[in-house]
Homo-oligomer: A and B are copies of this chain.
Amino acid sequence: MSDRDGRLAQLRELLPGAEVDGLVVSAPGNIFYLSGFRGSSGALLVTDQQCMLFSDFRYRLQAKEQAPDFEFVEVPRRLLAAVGEAAAAAGVSRLGYNPSHLSCELRDQLSEGAGSVPLAPAGALVEEMRATKSEEEVGLISAAAALADRALAHMAKMLRAGATEREVALEGEFYMRREGAEAASFDVIVASGPRSALPHAETTDRELATGDSVVIDIGARFSGYCSDITRTFAVGSAPPEMGEVYKVVYQAQRAAAAGVQAGVICGDVDGIARKIIEDAGYSDSFGHGLGHGVGIDVHEAPRLGKGEKKELAPGNVVTVEPGIYLEGTGGVRLEDLLVVFQNGSETITGSPMPSELPVV
């Protein structure tokens, strides 16, 4: 993939600013982004001159197939010690790593291998690169979103009294996978009735009942990239309170989505939705952030939450997903996925979002 050459060059340009001349890359998503390697165990070492992929015997052939531009180093055990030794052998004078992706134990291992080469926390260099998507990446995310859109339409038809949450969730996931998704990008959520008040509900064998609100949160992974979408429905009839709650969430979602464009502070986008929800009297019922970046990981930079100071940038792909959750009664969440442009945004998810709680 041509993108990958550019990424390595871009990362090398960032090293001096982080005051390192070598970088250990240990998070699987970052390894895939830079090298193409998708094994479950591995690490990269990037210096000005070298790029090496360390993994074990199990991935010997796969590494050569997926990451042909990287020198493959097979390591039987203590992978990070081998990375440290290689950095020392390559003459690295200060070896960077991301402290949020390296366990204390692995940092110690790296340090032992590196010997006299000092280690330096180098922030989230690769994560920051990943926050800006290329056109090709937006294309893959859009393909993943299209799969989830179709699955969602398929699932909406299954919503009737007596169907179980689990049946609906399974059908949705199977649909996406048959159509080419590598996986669901997270466990599909079908949360019905009082359970819809759990923002990250586990799907159960609960049978849907007339008058339930049902939150469906689903995403596909396609060619290594994720999507994420949420819609809320009512089964048979809409309970009056949930109808009102839906309208508030809808307004919050639309207003916040309209506020997405490059240069806007992430926390301010959250604030648009939060104010609408608070003004409607639900201050205590929207406890999570408005949204998050989506790409190789389903949760990545940037975060759209209260107090987040970063500015949105062109090429960011973010969810906008306000919700209101009433313990014991039910909840509503509405979520789209947007790509950020200089003067606005485009919605990647394609499912209709009615302005009133849809009764199915």
Contacts of A76 in B (CB 8 A): 287
Contact flags A303-327 to B (C-beta < 8 A → 1, else 0):
0000000000000000000000001
A257 shortest CB reach to chain B, Å:
21
Residue from the list B105, B174, B202 in contact with A62, Cβ < 8 A: B202
Which residues of chain A from 162 to 198 have a CB within 8 Å of any chain B CB?
Answer: 170, 174, 177-178, 183, 187, 197-198
A287 to B287, CA, bound (A): 49
Contact B105 A103, beta carbon cutoff 8 Å: no
Q: Does A201 contact B (CB under 8 A)?
A: yes
A59 CA to B189 CA, complexed, in Å:
14
Q: State in angstroms the CA–CA spacing of A198 and B60 once bound together.
A: 8
User: Considering the complex, which residues of chain A in the window 22-61 have a beta carbon less than 8 Å from any beta carbon of chain B?
Assistant: 38-40, 56-61
Contact status B197-A61, CB under 8 Å: yes
- Tell me, yes or no, whether A200 is within 8 Å of chain B by CB: yes
Binds B, one of A6-14, A94-102, A270-278, A345-353: A94-102
A285 and chain B: residue at smallest CB distance: B57
Of the four ranges (under 10, 10 to 19, 20 to 34, 35 or more), the interface on chain A belongs to 35 or more
**Complex Cα–Cα for A99 and B105 (A):** 5
Complex Cα distance, B288 from A326, in Å, reads 51
Bound complex: CA A76 to CA B200 (Å): 15
Say whether A199 faces chain B, with CB atoms less than 8 Å apart.
Answer: yes
CB distance from A33 to the nearest CB of B (A): 17
A100 touches B103 (CB 8 A): yes
Determine whether A107 belongs to the interface, using a CB cutoff of 8 Å to chain B. Answer: yes
Shortest CB distance A84–B (Å) = 15
Q: Is A104 an interface residue (CB 8 A)?
A: yes
Binding site for B on A (CB under 8 A): 38-40, 56-62, 76, 99-108, 121, 170, 174, 177-178, 183, 187, 197-202, 287-288, 327
Give me 11 A-to-B residue pairs in the complex whose CB atoms sit less than 8 angstroms apart, sorted by A's number.
A39-B200, A56-B288, A58-B198, A58-B199, A58-B200, A62-B200, A100-B105, A103-B103, A103-B104, A104-B121, A183-B187
